[in-house]
Amino acid sequence: MSKLGNEKMRKWVRATRKASAEELSVYSTLSKFETWAKFGMKKRRVETIRCVRKETEKFGRELR
């Protein structure tokens, strides 16, 4: 890669690091009620796994 390409890459990396640091600071200041959606998704995922287990037990197959 040329010297100019390396400089562009460094600028891009610095910009993305700065942007991700800003996102993290915003995320840490979120209030509690805004994080409820994440718990809902986890709960739904657990329920679907339970449904699959029930179906496999019904047909006599074992989970791997």
pTM: 0.28
The string of pLDDT tens digits covering residues 12-41 is 777 777 666 555 555 555 555 455 455 444
Q: Please check whether residue 27 is in contact with residue 19, taking contact to mean a CB–CB distance below 8 angstroms.
A: no
* Interatomic CA distance for residues 37 and 6, integer angstroms: 41
Q: Over pLDDT 70: what percentage of the chain?
A: 19
Whether 60 shows a pLDDT value over 70: the answer reads no
